[in-house]
Amino acid sequence: MNTNILNTLFTGLGIIGLITTLFLQQNQISENKKDADAQVENLKIQNFENRFFSLINNYQKSISLNYFINDKNMFRTFFNNYKSCMENGKYDADSLIDTFDKFRKSYQHLIEYSFINQITFLINIIEENTLIDKSIYYKNLNCLFSDIEKKCLFIIINYDTTISSETKELFKIKFEFITVDPEKLLKSKNEFFTF
């Protein structure tokens, strides 16, 4: 009879040990799943960053190529021509938009707008990603522009009637330098046009 009690006791302890082992394995599997999920998330962020910085690199190459093909100082040339037209009243226009429309028709060869499409695409991929701190990538994107490029973007986004209102709003939301009050600009052109 003592052997039956011992047998039952050891069987019970074996079952408790088996249940404990299964419980510990389940916890280990749960931990492994969390680790795997974290790795997948990190890979997605890494994939996004590779794509994002590759696109920034393509943007910079595109601008460099335009510098090489068109004009080494294309943004400065564009800006200085626009500034000159504004200061000299060349187009006798009632508004900055009218002035820009006339300017664009005369100087369209100076600058192509493909860079706006590239920037729009970069903004869209930042917005599509839910895993990242978007402000970091917008700061990186903002640092991409020189002062003269920012001024050209300001002029183009605010005064070019060929750019869609959706694109204009997107740029105004994402880049502070584009949201300068145009009325303030009208009153203080010289401040805006200084380097």
| pLDDT tens track for 124-144 | 888 888 888 988 988 888 888
Distances (CA, A) of 10 to 5, 20, 61: 9, 15, 75
pLDDT band at 191, cuts 50/70/90?
Answer: low
Evaluate if residue 172 carries a pLDDT over 80: yes
pLDDT at 39: 92
pLDDT surpassing 60 at residue 10 = yes
| pTM of the full structure | 0.59
**Domain ranges across the chain:** 43-193
Q: What is the DSSP letter of 188?
A: T
| 63: its two tokens | 């601008």
pLDDT in tens, 139-166: 888 888 877 778 778 888 887 877 888 8
Cα 104 to Cα 97: distance, rounded to the nearest angstrom: 10
* 29: pLDDT strictly greater than 60: yes
- Around Cβ 51, how many Cβ atoms within 10 Å? 13
